[in-house]
Amino acid sequence: MLALLEGERQALAALDIDRINNCSNDKMDLCARLDQVRPEDLDEECLGLLDAVRRLNTINRRLRNLIATNVQSRIDAMAGVGATYQSANGRMVAQSI
């Protein structure tokens, strides 16, 4: 999973859509396999690896959100829509002109 998340981060940096989709599908497959594992069966090393996976996944999610915000801003600019802003609940909202 760590190698997969590292590959996803590289795919995000390169904006490689095919690789991003492949990583997403592979993550879903691995998560399905991990769902079959009982938490009490994991040793300290496995728990440490899962914590590292959680942190790397959070970093990747933030990167995806930054990319999505950038793309949305560019689309808004091309469409002549007013600037987007973030509402109090954290959602991006388009401001009409």
- pTM for this prediction: 0.74
Q: What's residue 41's pLDDT?
A: 92
pLDDT tens by residue, 15-66 = 999 999 999 999 999 999 999 999 899 999 999 999 999 999 999 999 999 9
The per-residue pLDDT for 83 is 61
What local confidence, expressed as pLDDT, does residue 94 receive? 53
How many domains is the chain built from? 1
One-character DSSP codes across the chain: -HHHHHHHHHHHHHT-HHHHHHHHHHHHHHHHHHTTS-GGG--HHHHHHHHHHHHHHHHHHHHHHHHHHHHHHHHHHHHTPPPEEE-TTS-EEEPP-
CA distance 87 to 57: 25
87 vs 72 pLDDT, higher one: 72
Domain span including residue 56 = 2-94
**pLDDT value of residue 53:** 95
